Amino acid sequence: MKKVSSFKRRFICTTFLTLMSLLFSPPYLDALNAATVTYSGPVNWTVTTYDSFNPYSVHNAYNPVTITINGRSYTYYTVTSKVPTDNTVNTSQKTTLENHASSQTAEVQVIAEGTKWATELYIIRSTNPGPTVMIVGGIHGNEAAGYKAAEEIKNWKINRGTLLVLPRANKQAIAINKRYVKSEGDLNRSFPVRSSSYGSGTLARAIYKTVQDYKVDWLMDMHEGYDFYKNSSTDSVGQTLIYYPNTATKNISKKIVKTINANISSSYRQFTLLRYPVRGSLARASAEFLGVNSFIFETSQKQDLTLRIDYHKKAAEILLKELGMK
């Protein structure tokens, strides 16, 4: 019988111990929570991601992964949780974590890519099925509260479904702080006015196609008016929610207005519920021709910017909560 060298003995022991540790690791370790997720939309692919929460974890690690498909780069994030070395998670922490037991990935896609209108679309997907909601800011470049609120919303966590955020839809107009670029016309009058149309202009068509490709269920378009709607001497629609009529959209729109108005003491400054977004607008076209539950949320620029941003975020939060996404 041949003698086994000390090196070989050490190698065999190390390999054996490694295999045993993998076989008998606790069942809540990240590697055992691996799940394969298939994404669908304009591009289809499958990735393996990890459970972002377990009842023993309060720390998440976000790992960017970039892939190239048909010459275009896409970035998503796998979210993994770290298991603590002791059992010091208290009951309130555990309850909170269990109530938010959802993994999600985040991806950035450029729409109207390769043109002067190129702008980022943020895609947050939960591994739990649910509706697809799109939130748009910056259709008009001089309405800062909408795109500043959307910039924050793109970092939100969701419990289910998919959240699409287009914070700075019209970057060219935002750069000059104007409603629109004069040579191009009003973006929010450039969307389809009949079912056979795709809209006019590169940017409007790219945004409308995004709504189609992702099969959006709900759309919130963030805007601002120069005055209060209740000032009858102007035609401003500031402090309104304008929805395209159907039962589901009406009910959630009423909930948004009622909830926000409860904390506004002046009736003159409270929000008013209106119907039918203007023809040629993103909200109108998406609802009328694609069946999306759509509304425009308008704040009045006669108020402090911080307050206006908060109103937009609150409206978006109510929408997502009503849909079980937050």
Tens digit of pLDDT for each residue in 266-300?
Answer: 999 999 999 999 999 999 999 999 999 999 999 99
Q: Which residues contact 299 (CB under 8 A, 6 or more apart)?
A: 145, 146, 223, 224, 225, 238, 239, 308, 311, 312
Give the Cβ contact number of residue 217 at 10 Å: 17
pLDDT band at 30 (very low <50, low <70, confident <90, very high): very low
Does position 46 have pLDDT exceeding 90, yes or no? no
C-alpha 151/C-alpha 23 separation (Å) is 44
Query: Tens of pLDDT along 217-232?
Result: 999 999 999 999 999 9
Torsion of CA 213, 116, 154, 75, to 10 degrees: 70
Average pLDDT taken over every residue of the chain: 81
Does position 19 have pLDDT exceeding 90, yes or no? no
CA atoms within 13 A on the CB side of 97: 18
Q: Can you list the positions of beta strands (E) in the chain?
A: 35-39, 45-49, 60-69, 72-81, 104-111, 119-126, 132-136, 162-166, 218-225, 240-243, 272-275, 293-300
CA angle (80, 81, 84) in 5-degree steps: 155
Mean pLDDT value across residues 101-105: 78
The residue to which tokens 């394969």 are assigned: 36
Q: What is the CATH number of domain 107-322?
A: 3.40.630.10
Mapped onto helix, strand or coil, the DSSP state of residue 159 is: coil
Q: Which residues contact 63 (CB under 8 A, 6 or more apart)?
A: 77, 78, 79, 80
CA atoms within 13 A on the CB side of 225: 22
Mean pLDDT value across residues 243-271: 98
pLDDT band at 47 (very low <50, low <70, confident <90, very high): very low
Q: What are phi and psi of 301, to 5 degrees?
A: -75, 0
pLDDT band at 15 (very low <50, low <70, confident <90, very high): very low
Element (H, E) at 10: helix 6-23
Structure tokens at 58: 């309060």
Mapped onto helix, strand or coil, the DSSP state of residue 114 is: coil
Does position 69 have pLDDT exceeding 50, yes or no? yes
Helix 305-322 and helix 247-261, axial crossing angle in degrees, nearest 10:
140
Inter-CA distances, 246 with 211, 249, 282, 293, 324, Å: 19, 6, 17, 8, 20
Structure tokens at 3: 């003698």
Structure tokens at 258: 């009622």
Amino acid 53: pLDDT: 38
pLDDT band at 17 (very low <50, low <70, confident <90, very high): very low
Poorest-confidence range of 62-76, 216-230, 238-252?
A: 62-76
C-alpha 19/C-alpha 147 separation (Å) is 52
pLDDT band at 32 (very low <50, low <70, confident <90, very high): very low
pTM over 0.95: no
C-alpha 292/C-alpha 225 separation (Å) is 24
Q: Which residues contact 262 (CB under 8 A, 6 or more apart)?
A: none
Amino acid 199: pLDDT: 95
Poorest-confidence range of 10-19, 132-141, 282-291?
A: 10-19
Amino acid 308: pLDDT: 98
Amino acid 45: pLDDT: 44
Burial of 285 (0-12, 13-18, 19+ CB in 10 A): buried
C-alpha 311/C-alpha 181 separation (Å) is 27
Q: Which residues contact 107 (CB under 8 A, 6 or more apart)?
A: 74, 75, 76, 77, 122, 123, 125
The residue extents of the domains of the chain are 30-101, 107-322
DSSP state letter for 100: T
pLDDT band at 139 (very low <50, low <70, confident <90, very high): very high
Share of the chain above pLDDT 70, in %: 69
